[in-house]
């Protein structure tokens, strides 16, 4: 049984003191009930993170996968058998790039969300987003920045981990790091300073302090913006110098954490790769030379195809009726170049730009842009787990966390199956969407 200490908050002349009373309260009854539960899932087929297997079953015990394999080799041992005819079981999907504190920009532009929405409002929305993400079969998210909501991802993650609200396991980066002046919201006048969607820091001492402070507050990884649209012409240009990026990476790594980079320009990508960032987000203006460099350094690309697709439509493109705008055509080209160079591809859509719960949109687009369906399934499970250093999930294997999703149909035959979620399992607990 998990015991939680009871703490008493005492306020003495504006100082809050936390006093441990020494009493204990039991873990939530639902949690302890789940810990002892055993059941056997019997779908038509199981994708184990690498390969599709017809006729496999999976036995869950407590919060772990107890056994997985051909039905004849995995007996139910008297446990409940869950018949899942016509369905496919996969590892719980891993969203590689989300912003649970953002909602679609066609509802409210990003600037207005950052500048005009109360953090309490944004948190209330984030709890809905977390639930929708989990019900879509995504049992883990790498949430890449609160975009002005300070450290509120820390509390959201705690609320999910403590069973207060349903949601995915979270890998968080808190505020993310930007070079001074480079990010947004943009002020209309140099005389007016707007609050920013991430933390500004530059140079040796300030960067070290910012990285350590974000880690201290709860960051699992450090996100930087290696380039951004800045200056009067709002052109995408590199921000941090190579030395600054190397420093950020060194300080993050010395605490066992990775640094990841938003980068769209070739030069921003080059600095992020050489600086030691583990993933590059977007990578729109990558070149064959840059993708070869990524392959050489083992840097993964999170292409966020769905974000560009969504933004183009918000700007008026009528998808399916009008020809694809230049931005989309170019993205198809660079994505193919990355695939051709053998770059590791993470699945991550930049969800938040579009609706939470519609995470599968990115996976459908990866197929549409030329990636093989089997590679897409690997990307959103075992590849994301490996790249994000999550050794306890991403595969269907005895001993790993019982984070699973069951969908109607066969996603290898039609990726739309990933939108037909029938059952979500997180840490052994079952959720019916
Ligand atoms: Zn993003």
CA 376–ligand 1 middle distance (angstroms) = 20
CA of 97 to the centre of ligand 1 (A): 6
Strands (E), 300-419: 300-302, 404-408
- 271 & 414 share domain: no
Same domain, 212 and 296: yes
Gyration radius of the chain's alpha carbons: 22
Residues 278 and 179 in one domain: yes
In angstroms, rounded to a whole number, what is the distance separating the alpha carbons of residues 279 and 386? 12
What is the Å distance from ligand 1's center to 242 Cα?
Answer: 22
Task: Check the CA dihedral 153-172-92-38 and report its sign.
Answer: negative
Whether residue 72 sits in one domain with residue 151: no
The HSE-up count of residue 373 (CA atoms within 13 Å, CB side) is 12
Ligand 1 centroid distance, CA of 102 (Å): 10
* Residue 98 CA to ligand 1 centre (angstroms): 6
Q: Does residue 355 form part of some domain?
A: yes
Peptide bond into 137 cis (omega under 30): no
Q: What distance in angstroms lies between residue 222's CA and the mean position of ligand 1's atoms?
A: 13
Residue 16 domain boundaries = 1-36
- 89 vs 109: CA distance, rounded Å: 37
Sign for the CA dihedral angle at 43, 52, 348, 109 comes to negative
Q: What is the pLDDT of residue 303?
A: 98
Distance 72 CA to ligand 1 centre (A): 45
CA of 226 to the centre of ligand 1 (A): 13
- Residues 163 and 188 occupy one common structural domain: yes
| 54 falls within a domain | yes
Cα 315 from chain centre: 25
Q: Are residues 84 and 97 in the same domain?
A: no
φ, ψ of residue 340 in degrees (nearest 5): -65, -35
Neighbouring-strand partners of residue 19: 8
Q: Report the number of distinct structural domains present in the chain.
A: 3
**Distance of CA 144 from the midpoint of ligand 1 (Å):** 6
* Cα 375 to ligand 1 centroid, rounded to whole Å: 23
Residues 220 and 298 in one domain: yes
Distance 263 CA to ligand 1 centre (A): 11
Q: Are residues 154 and 210 in the same domain?
A: yes
Same domain, 136 and 62: no
Model-level pTM greater than 0.85?
yes
The rounded Å distance from CA 225 to ligand 1 centre is: 10
Based on the fold, state whether residues 280 and 427 are members of the same structural domain.
no
104 with 86, same domain: the answer is no
> Residue 199 belongs to a domain with what CATH number?
3.20.20.140
Residues with CB under 5 A from ligand 1 (ion): 144, 350
- Give 221 Cα–ligand 1 centroid separation in angstroms: 14
How much distance in Å is there from the Cα of 60 to the middle of ligand 1? 34
Query: What pLDDT score was predicted for residue 176?
Result: 98
In a domain, 299, yes or no: yes
Residue 392 included in any domain: no
Query: Does some domain include residue 394?
Result: no
Residue 166 C-alpha from the chain's centroid: 16
- Ligand 1 center–CA 425 separation, angstroms: 27
**The pLDDT of residue 36:** 62
The pLDDT of residue 161 is: 98
CA of 101 to the centre of ligand 1 (A): 11
- Dist. CA 279 → ligand 1 center (Å): 13
CA 415 to ligand 1 centroid distance, Å: 24
Task: Establish if 393 belongs to a structural domain.
Answer: no
Closest CA to 291 of 336, 227, 226, 230: 336
Q: Is 312 domain-assigned?
A: yes
Pair 382, 342 in one domain: yes
Q: How far is the CA of 130 from the centre of ligand 1 (A)?
A: 16
**Domain-located, residue 71:** yes
Contacts of 123 (CB under 8 A, 6+ apart): 101, 149, 152, 155, 156
| Span from the CA of 392 to the centroid of ligand 1 (angstroms) | 25
**DSSP string for 150-207:** TTHHHHHHHHHHTTSS---EEEE-TT-EE-TTSSSSPPSSTT-PPP-SSEE--SHHHH
- Taking CA atoms, 401 is separated from 60, 67, 397, in Å, by 9, 11, 9
Query: What is the rounded CA–CA span in Å between residue 184 and residue 272?
Result: 20
Query: For residue 423, what is the domain's CATH number?
Result: 2.30.40.10
How far is the centre of ligand 1, averaged over its atoms, from the C-alpha of 383 (Å)? Answer: 19
Q: How far is the CA of 65 from the centre of ligand 1 (A)?
A: 32
Query: 281: CA distance to ligand 1 center in Å?
Result: 8
Residue 182 and residue 226: Cα distance in Å, rounded?
Answer: 10
Q: Over the range 222-247, which residues count as b (16 or more CB within 10 Å of their CB) and which as e?
A: bbbbbbbebeeeeebebbbeeebbbb
Q: 339 phi and psi, to 5 degrees? A: -60, -45
DSSP states of 262-317? EE-SHHHHHHHHHHT-SEEEE-TT--HHHHHHHHHHT-EEE--HHHHHHHHHHTT-
How does pLDDT run along the chain (433 residues), one tens digit per residue? 343 333 333 333 333 333 333 333 333 334 434 446 999 999 999 999 999 999 999 999 999 999 999 999 999 999 999 999 999 999 999 999 999 999 999 999 999 999 999 999 999 999 999 999 999 999 999 999 999 999 999 999 999 999 999 999 999 999 999 999 999 999 999 999 999 999 999 999 999 999 999 999 999 999 999 999 998 888 999 999 999 999 999 999 999 999 999 999 999 999 999 999 999 999 999 999 999 999 999 999 999 999 999 999 999 999 999 999 999 999 999 999 999 999 999 999 999 999 999 999 999 999 999 999 999 999 999 999 999 999 999 999 999 999 999 999 999 999 999 999 999 999 999 999 8
**CA pair distance 329, 218, nearest whole angstrom:** 39
Cα angle, residue 192 at apex, residues 190 and 195 outer, rounded to 5°: 115
């Amino acid at each position: 049984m998990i015991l939680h200490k009871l703490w008493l908050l005492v306020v003495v002349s504006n100082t809050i003191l936390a006093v441990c009373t020494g009493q204990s309260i039991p873990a939530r009854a639902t949690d302890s009930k789940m810990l002892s539960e055993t059941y056997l899932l019997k779908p038509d087929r199981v994708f184990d993170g690498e390969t599709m297997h017809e006729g496999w079953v999976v036995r869950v015990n407590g919060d772990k996968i107890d056994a997985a394999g051909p039905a004849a080799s995995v007996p139910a041992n008297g446990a409940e058998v869950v018949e899942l005819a016509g369905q496919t079981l996969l590892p719980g999907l891993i969203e590689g790039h989300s912003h649970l504190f953002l909602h679609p920009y066609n509802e409210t532009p990003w600037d207005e969300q950052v500048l005009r929405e109360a953090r309490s409002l944004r948190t209330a929305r984030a709890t809905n987003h977390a639930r929708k993400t989990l019900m879509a079969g995504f049992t883990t998210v790498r949430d890449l920045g609160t975009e002005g909501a300070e450290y509120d991802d820390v509390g959201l993650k705690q609320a999910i981990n403590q069973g207060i609200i349903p949601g995915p396991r979270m890998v968080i980066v808190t505020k993310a790091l930007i070079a001074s002046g480079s990010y947004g919201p943009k002020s209309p006048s140099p005389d007016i300073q707007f609050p920013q969607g991430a933390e500004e820091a530059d140079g040796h001492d300030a960067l070290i302090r910012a990285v350590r402070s974000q880690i201290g507050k709860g960051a699992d990884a450090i996100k930087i913006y290696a380039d951004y649209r800045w200056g009067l012409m709002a052109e995408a240009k590199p921000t941090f110098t190579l030395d600054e990026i190397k420093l950020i990476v060194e300080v993050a790594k010395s605490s066992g954490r990775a640094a990841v980079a938003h980068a769209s320009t070739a030069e921003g990508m080059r600095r992020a790769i050489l600086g030691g960032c583990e993933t590059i987000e977007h990578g729109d203006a990558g070149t064959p030379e840059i993708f070869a460099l990524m392959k050489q350094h083992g840097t993964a690309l999170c292409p966020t195809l769905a974000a560009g697709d969504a933004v183009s439509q918000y700007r008026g493109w009528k998808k399916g009726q009008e020809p694809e705008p230049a931005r989309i055509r170019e993205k198809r080209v660079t994505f193919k170049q990355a695939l051709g160079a053998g770059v590791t591809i993470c699945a991550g859509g930049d969800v938040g730009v579009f609706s939470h719960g519609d995470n599968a949109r990115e996976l459908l687009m990866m197929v549409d842009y030329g990636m093989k369906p089997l590679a897409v399934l690997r990307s959103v499970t075992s590849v994301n787990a490996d790249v994000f250093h999550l050794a306890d999930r991403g595969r269907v294997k005895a001993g790993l966390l019982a984070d699973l999703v069951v969908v109607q149909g066969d996603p290898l035959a039609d990726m739309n199956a990933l939108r037909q979620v029938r059952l979500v399992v997180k840490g052994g607990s079952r959720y019916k969407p």
